[in-house]
Amino acid sequence: FSSEELTRHYLDRIEKMDGDFNAFITPTPEQALAQAREADQRIATGNAGPLTGLPLAHKDIFCTRGVKTSCGSRMLDNFVSPYDATVVERLAAAGVVMLGKTNMDEFAMGSSNETSYYGPVKNPWDRSKVPGGSSGGSAAAVAARMAPAATGTDTGGSIRQPAALTGLTGFKPTYGRVSRYGMIAFASSLDQAGTLTLSAEDAALLTQVMAGFDERDSTSAQEDVPDYMAALGADLKGLKVGVPSEFFDDGLEAETRKAVEDALDVYRRMGAEIREVHLPNLGLSVPTYYVVAPAECSSNLSRFDGVRFGYRCEDPRDLLDLYERSRGEGFGPEVKRRIMTGTYVLSAGYYDAYYLQAQKTRKLIRDDFMRCLEDVDVLMGPTTPTPAFGVGEKTDDPITMYLNDIYTIAVNLAGLPAVSVPAGFAGGLPVGLQIIGKFFDEGRLLNVAHQFQ
């Protein structure tokens, strides 16, 4: 079948089903069909690669030329980017067809997709549950087969957590592996682009194209990109797996724990050596993250001032009124909470007590991981403490919501690559096994995920 037929199949599903899930902010059927026809031409002339003609959905945090990029916010509801993000550009050059832009937590701040200006996304496994966040639209789109794959971003778990809660493979490469150019910044020292797919193999195919140095991103890594597909064959005999005991705390729900332990048994049977390891400072990761991430976001989001682009209030009295009302009306409550926290921790009188302290605890957390990864090849544990929770269940209590990222956040503070793979069910809902790798060891990490599938 042609790319056009395949694209129509997914566009039809989006049209018929997305009323129930709200996974897309902006479907782009016309552009998709034009791209699909172009891909069919390329295939006909023998000018195609492995991804040519493959449909995919982009998280609405990636700038797309000529198509609205909202970042889930009223602030950017009227924003049409004049350029493509590197991720979008590279995938398009490989012949990938964009089906549309997916829903997300506002500016990627959230764990349930309930902070979006465009309303919550529903989990395809049970519509009374959240799909996780912030890449919840991407997760729901793939889980409901409205797209075969989607892009996402992960600052503290936003790819892995929604992948776990919707039964997908969610892959966050090493910090700096994939360019952040044109990806709207939340916390620049933590943000990383990646994929939500049905398999590790699909993640390998997409990452092959997305990864690699980009001179337009100053933190982009100058590391060669190996052949990820070629890495997918190796057997796991002798693989050293560390299991951090701190991941198996009281907050870990019993059936989720059981699913993860069963997954470890599968690895044992494949010949892996499983041993207990320790991350003694893991308990500091949520408080550290909620100083570092808001600090960086308060700085990154200062560009939204109602002057240059984005939302502008009606009839401002003067410049200050323009700033205050544009930001006051353009940002939602979670974004305001983060900006206020960030501004506070960075303020002159409190900088040493909070921000500086958080930089130090971040170093301790990173050192813990480095020490463990000297002795083992990968680390394994749960992705989340529980399966998907109810829509509205945690919205009144930000701290409870933040604790949902307890196993994912430390990985971003360290900058390591990690993947969540479906590892069975708890209470009828999917749960994820998280696998954490060494810096730039994505090939091995994807193979370890692939062998499980």
> Which of the following is catalytic: 3, 59, 73, 138?
59
- Choosing from 111, 113, 195, 208, the residue that interacts with ligand GLN (CB under 6 A) is 111
| 405 contributes a contact to ligand GLN by CB under 6 A | yes
| 339 contributes a contact to ligand GLN by CB under 6 A | no
Structure tokens at 419: 């993947």
Task: Give the type of residue at 121.
Answer: V
Task: Give the type of residue at 295.
Answer: A
Compute the least distance from the CB of residue 110 to ligand GLN, in Å: 5
> Which of the following is catalytic: 134, 179, 220, 285?
134
Compute the least distance from the CB of residue 321 to ligand GLN, in Å: 30
Task: Give the type of residue at 239.
Answer: L
- Choosing from 40, 154, 214, 246, the residue that interacts with ligand GLN (CB under 6 A) is 154
Candidates 34-42, 156-164, 206-214, 319-327; binding stretch for ligand GLN (CB under 6 A): 156-164
The alpha-carbon radius of gyration of the chain (Å, integer) is 21
Candidates 83-91, 154-162, 364-372, 385-393; binding stretch for ligand GLN (CB under 6 A): 154-162
Active-site residue, 158 included: yes
Residues 332 and 76 sit within 8 Å (Cβ to Cβ): no
| 59, containing H or E segment | strand 55-59
Residue 424 — φ and ψ, nearest 5°? 100, -160
Active-site residue, 336 included: no
Structure tokens at 15: 């049209």
Q: Name the burial class of residue 77, with classes exposed (0-12), middle (13-18) and buried (19+) by CB atoms within 10 angstroms of its CB.
A: middle
- DSSP line for 308-340: SSS---SS-SSHHHHHHHHHHHHS-HHHHHHHH
Q: What is the DSSP letter of 85?
A: -
Candidates 107-115, 218-226, 230-238, 441-449; binding stretch for ligand GLN (CB under 6 A): 107-115
Task: Give the type of residue at 404.
Answer: N
- Choosing from 64, 155, 169, 384, the residue that interacts with ligand GLN (CB under 6 A) is 155
The site string for ligand GLN over 169-198 (x = CB under 6 A, - otherwise) reads -----------------x------------
> Which of the following is catalytic: 73, 81, 116, 158?
158
Residue with tokens 């067809």: 97
- Choosing from 27, 157, 170, 430, the residue that interacts with ligand GLN (CB under 6 A) is 157
Q: Name the burial class of residue 219, with classes exposed (0-12), middle (13-18) and buried (19+) by CB atoms within 10 angstroms of its CB.
A: middle
Candidates 106-114, 216-224, 242-250, 261-269; binding stretch for ligand GLN (CB under 6 A): 106-114
Candidates 139-147, 149-157, 223-231, 392-400; binding stretch for ligand GLN (CB under 6 A): 149-157
Compute the least distance from the CB of residue 85 to ligand GLN, in Å: 16
Beta-carbon-side half-sphere exposure of residue 408 (alpha carbons within 13 Å): 33
- Choosing from 22, 116, 158, 341, the residue that interacts with ligand GLN (CB under 6 A) is 158
Query: Please, which residues have CB within 8 angstroms of residue 226's CB and are 6 or more apart in sequence?
Result: 443
- Residue nearer to ligand GLN on the CB measure, 246 or 405: 405
Active-site residue, 134 included: yes
Distance, CA of 409 to CA of 405 (rounded, Å): 6
- Residue nearer to ligand GLN on the CB measure, 186 or 439: 186
| 170, containing H or E segment | strand 169-172
- Choosing from 51, 63, 109, 185, the residue that interacts with ligand GLN (CB under 6 A) is 109
In angstroms, the Cα distances linking 447 to 45, 116, 171, 442 are 33, 34, 12, 8
The site string for ligand GLN over 116-145 (x = CB under 6 A, - otherwise) reads ------------------x-----------
Compute the least distance from the CB of residue 310 to ligand GLN, in Å: 20
Compute the least distance from the CB of residue 405 to ligand GLN, in Å: 5
- Residue nearer to ligand GLN on the CB measure, 35 or 412: 412
User: How many Cβ atoms from other residues are within 10 Å of residue 389's Cβ?
Assistant: 21
Q: Please give the size of the binding site for ligand GLN, defined by CB under 6 A.
A: 13
Candidates 9-17, 71-79, 152-160, 277-285; binding stretch for ligand GLN (CB under 6 A): 152-160
Residue 164 — φ and ψ, nearest 5°? -60, -45
Residue 22 — φ and ψ, nearest 5°? 65, 35
* List of residues contacting ligand GLN (CB under 6 A): 108-111, 134, 154-158, 186, 293, 405
Known catalytic residues?
59, 134, 158
